[in-house]
Chains A and B, each alone.
Chain A
């Protein structure tokens, strides 16, 4: 049974120069629950997720996390929300393993074995000593996902996490998201993959125009 509401999104609206991209979107996500945002290209999935985590400012509406106003600069929110959107960056001169270890340390959970396990799970073991500019786009995508799993989180926000993952990778992703739900993490993700959505999501938010 889902826990109490962790994330509450109410009446979110975002427009760019008169073009409405996200129009009056409302939903909630509870602990242990997964909400999938679906829709065709250009329907505003990424924009919605960016407004939710505070990377973009909505023109109208309200986002709250655990009863508090969601503020991107709030350290409590940063400690609780792990997001892998399209703008994630890395230190270009730290190796994959060093970057992930640094994130774990920064959040106060320096578990070397856990970091190693995430590196292996996401197929980054062969590139753990490589610098980010040398990674392929798929490997960078995996590193972005890994960045979310090496640190504590109560809410996981992922933008098309299945991108650039092969069949085994997608299978792993499904199992991982189900495990996150079982651990009580709230999951909000955008996806084009019907199989992942059907197996993981408890609620669908359809942005199809």
Chain B
């Protein structure tokens, strides 16, 4: 069998080498373009001169922790190990030794993830060094090592996460045992990769809050020397490397126990991601992830929907729906803090840009009801009333969120009168409304011939609908209303 397969592969290696060459060349071109663009950015004009050392150290630690937590949770959701259709049809259905087939692939994936993580860390370090904070001891090597190893560790951790999930025993509905019989209850293992990710995010948020407080109280008197910075960095690196080694070992050992459900679940998500990329419609992926999340919730606490009238009933329903989307609320809180964090190191112009764009993302997350109603004619028919009435009622929640956001971020680098913030809230709300009412994608739209090839201008304008208006609002507030 092996001889036949080897014979079939004649000539395929040259093709694969060619594909790898094209991909690497494209990556080098893109990275080079980005690096040269970043190099041209007048960092000096965007950066404040005196950043308290304590705040700067807290910022770097927070950035690492938040990036670590985000990558952990994203990879835990995606699950990096999955079997494609051929694997599902042949290998999973045979009684062969699955561990012998999976382990080399898991090891290869770990090595590739390490390389990607290291490259990502280097890129982050490069940006970090470019934006080197004045007055802070140089710690370039520390940044490089920390960034690379954090990403390495996280990539490893998620391999183990999926394996751990696969071997977790289910909770069957056990029948009542006969008298005298002993029934062993299955143990329920916690989802530790998800817990670690949340812990990292919480830690990062706390440290970021510390940076804001340090900047606000100007505790620059607390001088963080190179030794302390290195010690803190060293502890973080040690912790991450430990997690990486433990996780990788667990993941590789548990590779053989990955069951069919675990391997095919990842394939479904990968297919959704591919469909979303091919059709340039992220709703394919977001819808799949959302449906999976809701299936995990399954059943909710019984509470009667009671309201004095139709408008309040819809608003009560909106509140119920938001209560089942804790992530949206957490992200909202995090994005409220982002402009304050940026205000530590950046001047008011870029802070305002960040404030508006972060506000758009935050409020957009609260507009789930508006999106669902706008995109489903059947649901609008079912609910009755006019389209405008339905959209208007479902606009209340994002409107409240927009006002809350601008009020909460009013002290982050604002240089214009406070009442103008209401205009900002209105602008963000209009951008969210524009995004939520996006019509179905049309694929026979205009294409533009450029030196880089054909660019689907029509598709791009559809995809960025909403964000385009948010960018206009951001530019107006950052450069015109000052």
Q: Which residues of A does B touch, CB under 8 Å?
A: 53, 55, 72-73, 75, 78-79, 81, 83, 85, 87-95, 97-98, 101-103, 105-108, 110, 112, 128-134, 147, 151
B324 touches A105 (CB 8 A): no
Could you say which interface size class chain B belongs to? 35 or more
Q: Which residues of B does A touch, CB under 8 Å?
A: 290-291, 294-295, 297-305, 307, 309-310, 313-314, 317, 320-321, 324-325, 368-369, 372, 376-387, 389
C-alpha gap A147/B324 in the complex (Å): 22
CB of A115 to closest CB in B, whole Å: 9
CB of B120 to closest CB in A, whole Å: 34
Most A CB contacts (10 A, CB to CB) among B294, B382, B383, B387 go to: B382
**Contact residue among B295, B303, B310 (Cβ-Cβ distance under 8 Å from A105):** B310
Most A CB contacts (10 A, CB to CB) among B290, B307, B325, B383 go to: B383
C-alpha gap A131/B302 in the complex (Å): 12
- In the complex, besides A72-B377, A102-B305, A110-B307, 8 extra interface pairs with C-beta distance below 8 angstroms are A73-B386, A92-B372, A102-B317, A106-B313, A129-B301, A131-B295, A133-B294, A134-B299
B385 touches A106 (CB 8 A): yes
A131 touches B378 (CB 8 A): no
C-alpha gap A87/B300 in the complex (Å): 25
List 11 contacting pairs A-B, 8 Å CB cutoff, sorted by A. A75-B389, A78-B381, A88-B382, A91-B369, A92-B291, A93-B320, A102-B305, A102-B317, A130-B300, A131-B299, A147-B382
B381 touches A79 (CB 8 A): no
Most B CB contacts (10 A, CB to CB) among A55, A91, A108, A110 go to: A91
A129 touches B302 (CB 8 A): yes
Chain A minimum-CB-distance residue to B376: A89
A-B pairs under 8 A by CB, number = 114
Chain A minimum-CB-distance residue to B381: A78
CB of B167 to closest CB in A, whole Å: 24
**Contact residue among A88, A92, A105 (Cβ-Cβ distance under 8 Å from B305):** A105
Judged by DSSP, the binding face of B is helix
A89 touches B379 (CB 8 A): yes
Q: Chain A residues near B297: list those with CB within 8 A.
A: 131
**Contact residue among A85, A90, A112, A134 (Cβ-Cβ distance under 8 Å from B379):** A90
A93 touches B310 (CB 8 A): no
Known: A72-B377, A89-B379, A130-B298. A94 touches B310 (CB 8 A): no
C-alpha gap A53/B382 in the complex (Å): 12
Most B CB contacts (10 A, CB to CB) among A87, A95, A97, A108 go to: A95
Q: Chain A residues near B321: list those with CB within 8 A.
A: 91, 93-94
Chain B minimum-CB-distance residue to A72: B381
**Contact residue among A75, A83, A108 (Cβ-Cβ distance under 8 Å from B386):** A75
Q: Chain B residues near A134: list those with CB within 8 A.
A: 294-295, 298-299
C-alpha gap A182/B303 in the complex (Å): 34
C-alpha gap A83/B377 in the complex (Å): 12
C-alpha gap A134/B297 in the complex (Å): 9
Known: A91-B321, A93-B325. A103 touches B295 (CB 8 A): no
**Contact residue among B307, B317, B325 (Cβ-Cβ distance under 8 Å from A94):** B317
Q: Chain A residues near B369: list those with CB within 8 A.
A: 91
C-alpha gap A87/B376 in the complex (Å): 9
Q: Chain B residues near A108: list those with CB within 8 A.
A: 310
B324 touches A93 (CB 8 A): yes
Most A CB contacts (10 A, CB to CB) among B298, B324, B381 go to: B381
CB of A145 to closest CB in B, whole Å: 12
A129 touches B299 (CB 8 A): yes
B378 touches A87 (CB 8 A): yes
A101 touches B305 (CB 8 A): yes
C-alpha gap A132/B300 in the complex (Å): 11
Q: Chain A residues near B383: list those with CB within 8 A.
A: 78, 102-103, 106
**Contact residue among B294, B303, B382 (Cβ-Cβ distance under 8 Å from A103):** B382
A75 touches B377 (CB 8 A): no
A131 touches B305 (CB 8 A): no
CB of A168 to closest CB in B, whole Å: 24
C-alpha gap A91/B390 in the complex (Å): 14
A91 touches B372 (CB 8 A): yes
CB of A31 to closest CB in B, whole Å: 20
**Which 9 pairs show the lowest CB-CB distances between chains A and B?**
A105-B313, A101-B305, A78-B384, A87-B378, A133-B294, A89-B376, A133-B291, A93-B321, A106-B383
